[in-house]
Amino acid sequence: MALHSSKSLPIDHSLADNSPKNIRNNPQFTSGIFGVLQLKITAHIIIIKDVVEVGNLFNQHVIYKIKHFEILPLLSSTITKNLISNDKDENYYLYLLKKQLKSESFYFSTTLDLTNSFQKSKASNIINSPDFKPNYPFYWNSFALKPLIELAAKNPIFKNFLSYVVNGFIDLGSFHHHKDTKFRMALITRKSKFRAGTRYFRRGIDKDGNVANFNETEQLLLVSNNDLKNGKSTLIMSYIQIRGSIPVYWAEINNLKYKPPLAIGEFSSTSSAELHFQNIFTNYHNEKLVLINLINSTGHEKKIKDKINYIYFDFHENCKNLKFENVNILIEQLINSGDLNNDEFSVSKIDTTDHITTLQSQKNILRSNCMDCLDRTNVVQSSIAEYVLQKQFEHLNIIEKNGINFTQKFPKFFLDFKKIWTHNANSISKSYSGTNALKTDFTRMGKRTLSGLFKDAYKSLNRYFLNNFYDGSRQDSFDLILGEITHDEFFLKENEGLTTRDNRPMIVQLVPNILKSATVLLLTVIFYPKNNSLSSPTNLISLGCCCLSIFFSAYFIMHNGMQYVNWPKLKQLDYLQTQEIFSSQNHPSIKYVIHDNYLLSCSFNKIQ
Q: What is the span of the domain harbouring residue 158?
A: 1-166
DSSP state of 222: E
DSSP state of 286: -
What pTM value is reported for the model? 0.88
At 416, which amino acid appears?
Answer: D
Residue 603, pLDDT score: 43
Q: What parts of the chain have a pLDDT lower than 70?
A: 1-29, 76, 121-125, 128, 226-233, 296-310, 352-354, 487-498, 583-587, 601-608
Residue 584, pLDDT score: 59
Task: Provide φ and ψ at 292, rounded to 5°.
Answer: -115, 115
Q: Which of 472, 502, 465 is nearest to 588 (CA)?
A: 502
Q: Which of 201, 90, 214 is nearest to 471 (CA)?
A: 201
- Would you say residue 396 lies in a domain? no
Contact in structure between 204 and 308 (CB atoms under 8 Å): no
- Would you say residue 24 lies in a domain? yes
DSSP state of 162: B
d(CA 579, CA 588) in angstroms, rounded, equals: 10
pLDDT in tens, 443-491: 888 788 888 899 999 999 999 999 999 999 999 999 999 999 876 666 5
- Would you say residue 439 lies in a domain? no
Residue 485, judged by CB atoms within 10 A of its CB (0-12, 13-18, 19+), counts as middle
Q: At CA 201, angle to CA 195 and CA 204, rounded to 5?
A: 55
- Would you say residue 282 lies in a domain? no
Q: At CA 591, angle to CA 587 and CA 596, rounded to 5?
A: 120
Residue 437, pLDDT score: 92
Of 166, 189, 224, the position where a domain reaches its end is 166
d(CA 172, CA 154) in angstroms, rounded, equals: 37
Residue 382's Cβ-side half-sphere holds a number of Cα atoms within 13 Å equal to: 29
Residues 6+ apart with CB under 8 A from 520: none
Contact in structure between 177 and 412 (CB atoms under 8 Å): no
d(CA 305, CA 370) in angstroms, rounded, equals: 10
Max distance between CA atoms of the chain, in angstroms, equals: 94
CA 68 to the chain's CA centroid: 19
d(CA 228, CA 452) in angstroms, rounded, equals: 44
- Would you say residue 375 lies in a domain? no
**Sign of the four-CA dihedral 530, 535, 539, 543:** positive
Residues 6+ apart with CB under 8 A from 221: 183, 184, 185, 235, 236, 237, 238, 389, 392
d(CA 494, CA 588) in angstroms, rounded, equals: 11
Domain count, the chain: 2
- Would you say residue 174 lies in a domain? no
d(CA 41, CA 87) in angstroms, rounded, equals: 8
pLDDT in tens, 425-455: 999 999 999 999 998 888 888 788 888 899 9
Contact in structure between 218 and 236 (CB atoms under 8 Å): no
d(CA 564, CA 255) in angstroms, rounded, equals: 8
Of 166, 199, 214, the position where a domain reaches its end is 166
Coil, strand or helix at 473: helix
Percent of the chain as helix, strand, coil, to the nearest 5: 40, 25, 35
- Would you say residue 189 lies in a domain? no
At 89, which amino acid appears?
Answer: D
Residue 439, Ramachandran bin (φ over 0: left; ψ between -120 and 50: alpha; else beta): left
**Sign of the four-CA dihedral 446, 449, 452, 453:** positive
Three-state SS annotation for 363-389? CEEEEEECCCCCHHHHHHHHHHHHHHH
Helix count (H) and strand count (E) of the chain? Answer: 15, 21
**Number of C-beta neighbours around residue 405 at 10 A:** 13
- Would you say residue 322 lies in a domain? no
**What's the residue count for the chain?**
608
Of 166, 198, 216, the position where a domain reaches its end is 166
H or E element that contains 577 = strand 576-583
d(CA 314, CA 323) in angstroms, rounded, equals: 13
d(CA 101, CA 126) in angstroms, rounded, equals: 26
